Structure 1
Amino acid sequence: MKNYILDDLIKSVKTQNLHVLNVVVRNDGDIIAEHDFEEEKPTLLWSVSKTFTSMAIGIAENEGYFSLNDKIVDYFEDDIIQINDNLKKMTIHDLLCMSTGHAGCPLMKAMDENKSLDDISKLFFEEPVTFEPGTHFLYNNAATYMLSKLISITTGYSLKKYLMPRIFQPLGISDPKWNCDVNGISLGCSGLYLTARELSKFGQLLLNHGVWNKKQLIPAEYIIQATKCQIDTSEFNEYFATADHKQGYGYQIWMNSYPNSYRMDGLYGNYVVILPDKNAVITYVSNEPSNMTGVLELTWNTIVNKL
């Protein structure tokens, strides 16, 4: 183990008073350093869950359930009350890269207005499709829910059940907790609980282009597409946005400011940073309420040059 490479990170966490819980560093396939600020336990990963939903889509496409270019209206006819030209154009690909054409996230708007979340599909299709799909990035939790629902209606399994034999069990994750079901459909955009070590395995799986123990769990070509820029995010202007939010978005995966790298990204400083040029995966499980991006930037400021 090379835990000394985390010395500067540990100092920086304490200096900045960042609420990081666990850090795991993998290099060349092995854990080379880790530090627990608090005892490791399964923790809610928030939007890191989205990347698992994305990989379910890649596997299901490969199994022949649908194509990414399929129009979503063909799968959700019962949920659609009114259809327009932009909605007709929306594809599964558009759901994956947050380019549905909505001007606002239907799920977040409903929460802000204290509306019922019993029918997220209805909220999704009621929201005006202002832009032509594929042309405009909007971080859209409801889009991820629709991907989860697509898995359920095409495969007959919930998102977790679908992924159990395909990802979780091969990685040695026996029974992960995945909360947030809406009428039997996983929310998809959040709800998954894992430990930092478990999560780091998933990051390694992506770095390996879907191979684990010499078995291809996720199609390599899907991961190649998922982990490169599919939609421009240079205009992303949330209050917390940094350079790491303006490099583009893949399939439920963010591109980083560090060249040729990408990340899974969850609220409160939950990140899996994948650095192909360093053959490394850095995993953070955190509960940082006010400086989430400070956790991510520990990577660039304290670790990357030591790999």
Structure 2
Amino acid sequence: MFLLILLAASGCVETPDSGNESSPVNESATYWPTEGWRTSTPEQQGMDSEKLAELLDYVEENDINIHSLLIIRNGYVVTDVYFYPFTNNSVHDVASVTKSFTGTLIGIAISEGYIAGVDQPVLELFPNRTVANVDANKKAMTLEDLLTMRSGLECVNEPYEVTTEQMEDSPDWIQFALDLPMAEEPGTRFVYCSSNSHLLSGIISETTGINELAYANKTLFKPLGISNIIWPSDPQVNNRGWGDLHLTPHDMAKLGYLYLNNGEWDGKQIVPAEWVSESTREQVSMEEDEGYGYQWWVPDDDLPERYDARGRGTQLITVVPEENLIVVTTGGGFNADETAPFLVAALKSDRPLPENPTAYGRLQEKINAAAEPPQPEPVKPLPEMAKKIEGKTYVLDSNPLDLQSLSLNFDEEKGEALFTVGVAENQTLEYLLGLDNVYRFSPGEYGLPVAGKGSWESDNVFVAYIDEVANINHYKVTATYQDDQVTILVQDPTWFGDVEFGGRLEGSSEQEAAARNNTSS
């Protein structure tokens, strides 16, 4: 959990001498960041630039796979870092942080009278659908049960979200979720289930007459000045209520600031204050000091009150009301607890500190350096194996990733390789790889860039790093060539872990025999 240590800071913050007449920094900002956030030195907000610079030292030295770090105190940005190859002003998949936006929109819809309240039965909200597996438990399932992940629907989320994957494979995702059997009485047990959140999106569409994105643009995004948005939908154009919303880190922080201000924004009550309170209150208590509200995580421990919007890969919005603090991270899979001690050390006071130009200058140098690509390295001569496999297609064995084939082509003069992967439905994906330790960029999902680099680890082992950056996934693909065969190991710490399978050179006797066996079977 992010900031688990940081939040003890309120107990270890130093208080200036009583003779210091400066204003407390925990007063609210005198502006609203609708058009953009204002910046401040950390010292002006009671934070230490040197400790924040040391945090960036640690990230660099330990190769932490973080994409951005945004720290806002008292409404002012004190640290705003983008780590190559992620770039400033780019949107990022916020993953399950999306759930907190969906929960917010449910609260707005209730306040506008589209939904009666959290006690309304779910089936009543879909009056035009015929639902399977209806029993007393399903009839009793309420909107609040969806919000708190206690729907009682049969949902498998270990070792990964199996039910979510099945839902995505179905022709009608809302119908799939509604038709799920009931595993138990609703309201009795917490089961993290993204189908619950997608039903919330369907409820917004059903009750307001427009899909979740259209409703968000009208009631939430436009008032907050959020316009750079990608939000994919299901086949019926219900936006994915559980994930895949793409926003910039600055716009992610606006949701945190809205909640920090009890749902008010620039003189207007966007979200009812009572909904903010209920959403970020512990509605469900779990093991390991965890709690859950209405699509927000609410840690349950002795530390100061805070709440999180969380997504895989460490997409995170953490709000700490007592410190007037918002921390936003995006990433490709890292343990945010590693950075917490530096943040603890940086949070010095509830009043401004003396300016420290030397430390602030070092912090800015680290921020600028984080965004820069590395210097190109000399490209090693290609091994004999590279010449043997170049341009040839290897047909892959059946595998969980549905990869069909792969091939490599090399351009020694440019220091690049073209990595071509065949996927299901006779489609191919092409990734340009830098062989000089500098990423090359190829168009990826939603038009967002994919960064790629590669190298020969040995005479017969080629390693490709394919970083989807703004789409979270970061693949390491190790291809080991032996005669007419290849062994593939695909690793992704944010999703499926490690997957290993084989393949054969197209047209080889082994490959032809395998094809004949598959045909006969």
Indicate whether the TM-score tops 0.5.
yes
Aligned to 2:235: 182
Aligned to 1:209: 262
Deviation at 1:172, TM superposition (A): 1.4
Aligned to 1:82: 133
Deviations 1:241-279 (A, max 9, x none): xx4xx4111111111354311100011110011111111
Aligned to 1:145: 198
In structure 2, relative to structure 1, the CA distance for the partners of 1:219 and 1:298 (3 Å cut) is: farther
Structure 1 runs of 4+ with >6 Å offset: none
Say if 1:134 and 1:231, in contact at 8 Å, map to a contact too: no
Matched, 1:198 2:251: yes
Specify which structure has the higher proportion of helix: 1
Cα distance in 2 between the residues matched to 1:42 and 1:183: 24
Say if 1:45 and 1:192, in contact at 8 Å, map to a contact too: yes
Deviation at 1:113, TM superposition (A): 5.9
Cα distance in 2 between the residues matched to 1:114 and 1:227: 28
Letter aligned with residue 199 of structure 2: M
Cα distance in 1 between the residues matched to 2:199 and 2:166: 21
SS at match of 2:114: coil
Letter aligned with residue 71 of structure 2: V
- Asked which structure has the greater CA Rg, the reply is 2
Aligned to 1:248: 291
In structure 2, relative to structure 1, the CA distance for the partners of 1:209 and 1:93 (3 Å cut) is: same
Aligned to 1:63: 112
Scaled by the length of structure 1, what TM-score is found? 0.88
Say if 1:211 and 1:217, in contact at 8 Å, map to a contact too: yes
Alignment equivalent of 1:277, drawn from 304, 322, 327: 322
- 1:107-146 mapped onto 2 (5 Å cutoff): 108-110=161-163, 116-146=169-199
SS at match of 2:254: helix
Aligned-pair Cα RMSD in Å: 2.1
Cα distance in 1 between the residues matched to 2:259 and 2:339: 18
Aligned to 2:93: 44
Cα distance in 2 between the residues matched to 1:109 and 1:125: 16
State, as a whole percentage, how many aligned pairs show the same letter. 28
Deviation at 1:13, TM superposition (A): 2.2
Cα distance in 2 between the residues matched to 1:50 and 1:115: 17
In structure 2, relative to structure 1, the CA distance for the partners of 1:13 and 1:299 (3 Å cut) is: closer
Say if 2:126 and 2:206, in contact at 8 Å, map to a contact too: no
SS at match of 1:206: helix
Aligned to 2:341: 301
Deviations 1:258-301 (A, max 9, x none): 4311100011110011111111000001122xx3xx12x24632
Scaled by the length of structure 2, what TM-score is found? 0.53
Deviations 1:109-165 (A, max 9, x none): 346569723222332233222222111000010000000000001001111110112
Deviations 1:167-223 (A, max 9, x none): 111221124111133311111111211111111122111111111112111111001
RCO (CA 8 Å, sep 6+): is it higher in 1 or 2? 1
Deviations 1:22-75 (A, max 9, x none): 111111122122222232211111111111111000000001111111000112
Aligned length: 292
Specify which structure has the higher proportion of strand: 2
Please list every run of 5 or more consecutive structure 1 residues that lacks an aligned counterpart in the other structure: 235-242
